[in-house]
Structure 1
Amino acid sequence: MSVPTWVWLATIAGIIALFFFDFLFHARKPHEPTLKEAAGWSLFFITIALLFGGGVWIVWGAQHGTEYFAGFITEKSLSVDNLFVFVILMSKFSVPRRYQQKVLLIGIAIALVMRGIFIALGAAAIAQFSWVFYLFGAFLLYTAAKLARESFQDESQGGAPQYHETWFERWAHKTLPSTREYHGNRLFARVEDKPVVTPLFFAVLALGFTDLLFALDSIPAIYGLTKAPYIVFTTNAFALLGLLQLYFLLGGLLDRLVYLGLGLSVILGFIGIKLILDALHENTLIFINDGQPLHGVPEVPIWLSLTIIVTTLVVTTVASLIRSRRGAGGSD
């Protein structure tokens, strides 16, 4: 997939413009979005992402178009799973609803920058070392097993996923002068004429580190569906741009998606296996088949990947809603 430099620059400029529009429109005046507002903006960003995918299909062909849509659906699904942790973080720091937009937007900006760096590093590593697909595949299989185990544990305990404070957050709490009181939507304030950081700062910090961990899962996952850095970047960017609106739109629906983690573990496990099969096709490791590619290994076409991803998400979502409805009926 050959993408001219001017197309890269125009795409990055457009995504930055969309982000700044989102930030200025929603965060300049702190408020709690209504359901109608959140639904409208969610539809707006999803429509832009789908139209962009149509453009990829027209310009670069059906293969790359299908890769884009498979990648976008996967990244969007992983983003929805991330919202569980975002809800926990907002509760942990007792962030007022009207200030949550700013925290989320800054966190999304941090995530976009970090993923851009990871994408560049991943592309460079893949270009130089084809065996990196073995590492990506193994990591995704490990992540899938971990996510499945956590999903079963949450199911047996009847609770939500837990958030554990990172070492950097603990260090920041001990080192930086801070206040326990919110000062509007400011990250920094002055108390008794001394500069301090507010709880909103620590909420953004926690969100940034959480996004870093999520990037470690999502970047190998998208590289399992496409090797085109342009598609990897744009699918990640569009998945993140609509995350703020999804947070407020889904709200109480998140705790009803009880099988989402299990469905995502199936998707990540499938992509992990696909990555390892791709690595075997391009094998250069001397201790595997004397360093020669294994051409007899089955290939997984992108249409099959898209079908499995969509089917898994539909089945787990429907099963979650049925389970939640039965649970609500049994508690009456």
Structure 2
Amino acid sequence: MSVPGYVWILTIVVIIGLLLFDYVFHVRKPHTPGLREAAVWSALYVGIAIVFGLLVWIFGGTTMGAEYFAGYVTEKALSVDNLFVFLIIISSFKVPHADQQKVLLFGIVFSLFARTGFIFIGAALINTLAWVFYLFGLVLLITAGNLLRSSDSEDRTADNLIIRLAKRFFHTSDDYDGDKLFTHVDGKRMLTPMLLVMVSIGGTDLLFALDSIPAIFGLTQNVYLVVTATAFSLLGLRQLYFLIDGLLDRLIYLSYGLAVILGFIGVKLVLHALHENNVPFINGGRPVHVVEISTGVSLGVIIGVLVITVLASLLSARGRAKNTIAGARRHAEQYLDEGYETDPAARQRTYEKLLDEERRLDALPAKFRAEIHDEPGLRDSLRRAHAKHRDAVHEQRAARDRTDEDPTGAG
């Protein structure tokens, strides 16, 4: 079903408007979103995506509605997986907490532009070269295999080709200057690490698109649905990052679920390619009569696999243990990095979270407590965080004593 031009224009205006609203009212002024703020706005963006899908279902029919929701759910799941890498990049570059929102919004905007370009290229290839479905299917099957090989989130690193190139060619200052991209050091204008982070996020987005675009084309070839499902899955990703930051390490089976979904869509693409076959060396260039997987079945499989994956991750003892270990490490490193959060009250809350994580570490079953000793640097980070807190408390007491002795401050 073709989509009228005015619908395209209205949709693009809505998407741009949501991005501008997000920037003006939330990102322009650096701050750290609270749990309530992140939850409210995450729910709002998901609600907008669902309402849009219902409108597609009503005005476009059952098939278009099902294809949109299948594409949206798949892209949303892939975007959550991408958050693991965003978290690692942001952590490795020690981006101050209050400035992380701007990095994430840049990544979302860049991803929208990049993926839209890939979508139109993919659509053009599909319309002219039927064998592209074989290629897309092969890409997804290979990606599924890679996810199964490195399903543990701890194996993920921020050391990809894009980041190595960025570090080599962009010489930056040692410290951040708020969220500025340029600063002055000893009278010389220099790039800040913030630019390097954005280049890394943007380059990684391009790599993500190589997986996500073939995946959604395996569910629908309607370019309007591909664009909107991709866009609405990315909108709200910034809020989702702060909402599930503490749960990312807990979703230990997410990569297994995504591997199953991408493998399933890869098989679906290959079956569709066989059904539309015109490759000379396959069945003499004639279509192969094979079973094709319906959109309804695809949507059911995608949702079912994700539900099972998330429940297995959240309810498993290993998931709880890994989340506790990762949380303790993260809070210790955040407390040790004085530039991560400069508000003393926020730093105290981080330390209290660290204490809570340590109590939970001590309560873990013996087989999981043994793994703590295998965690590189975890015990040392905890020890140094406690030492830093003792020094901070001592300095605060000394400052109060000096004030009590000389309340006028005259010395």
TM-score category by the smaller chain?
over 0.9
Which residues of structure 1 form unaligned runs of 5+?
A: none
Q: 1:224 aligns with which of 218, 241, 257?
A: 218
Q: Distance in 2 between matches of 1:190 and 1:293?
A: 64
> Alpha-carbon deviations, 1:111-149, whole Å to 9, x = none?
000001000000000010111000000010000001111
What is the distance in 2 between the residues matched to 1:251 and 1:279?
39
- 2:232 counterpart of 1:235: no
- 1:300 is aligned to 293
Shift of residue 193, structure 1, vs aligned partner: 3.2
Residues 84-103 of structure 1, C-alpha deviation per residue, up to 9 Å, x if partnerless?
A: 00110111000011000000
| Structure 2 equivalent of residue 73 of structure 1 | 73
The alpha carbon displacement at 1:177 in A equals 4.1
Partner of 2:407: none
Aligned-partner Cα distance in 2 for 1:273–1:132: 14
**What residue in structure 2 maps to residue 190 of structure 1?**
184
After superposing the two structures, state which structure 1 stretch, 215-224 or 191-200, moved more.
191-200
Deviation, 1:160, is 4.7
Q: CA separation in 1, counterparts of 2:127 and 2:216? A: 16
**Looking at CA atoms only, which structure, 1 or 2, has the larger radius of gyration?**
2
TM-score normalised to the size of structure 1? Answer: 0.95
> Partners in 2 of 1:41 and 1:130 — Cα distance?
41
Q: Aligned runs of 1:217-296 on 2, under 5 Å?
A: 217-294=211-288, 296=289
Task: Classify the secondary structure of the residue corresponding to 1:206.
Answer: helix
Deviation track 1:224-246 (CA, whole Å, cap 9, x = no partner) reads 00010000000110011110011
- Which structure 2 residues correspond to residues 35-54 of structure 1 after superposition, within 5 A? 35-54=35-54
Distance 1:325 1:7 in 2: 46
Q: Kindly report structure 1 stretches of 4+ aligned residues shifted beyond 4 Å.
A: 326-329
Matched, 1:26 2:26: yes
RMSD: 1.4
Measured after TM superposition, the shift of residue 191 of structure 1 is: 2.4
2:15 aligned partner: 15
User: 2:123 & 2:284 partners in 1: Cα distance?
Assistant: 26
Are the equivalent residues in 1 in contact too, given 2:53–2:69 (CA < 8 A)?
yes
Indicate conservation of the 8 Å contact 1:222/1:232, yes or no. yes
1:142-188 Cα deviation digits (max 9, x unpaired): 0000111111xx38xxx35222142x544443444420110011112
The one-letter code sitting in structure 2 at the alignment partner of 1:62 is T
Check conservation: 1:75, 1:239, Cα contact below 8 A: yes
- The sequence identity of aligned pairs, in percent, is 53
2:246 is paired with a residue whose SS is helix
- Structure 2 unaligned spans of 5+: 325-363, 370-411
Shift of 1:196: 1.3
1:163 alignment partner, one of 154, 158, 161: 158
Secondary structure, counterpart of 1:196 in structure 2: strand
Match of 1:150 in 2: 150
The code of the aligned residue for 2:156 comes to: P
The 8 Å contact of residues 166 and 199 in structure 2, kept in 1 or not, is answered as no
Distance 2:321 2:94 in 1: 31
SS of aligned partner of 2:219: coil
> What is the identity, as a one-letter code, of the residue corresponding to 1:102?
K
Instruction: Report the alpha carbon displacement of residue 210 of structure 1 after superposing the two structures with TM.
Output: 0.9
State the AA in 1 paired with 2:97.
R
- The CA deviation string for residues 194-223 of structure 1, in whole angstroms up to 9 with x for no partner, is 221111111111100111111100000000
TM-score by length of 2: 0.77
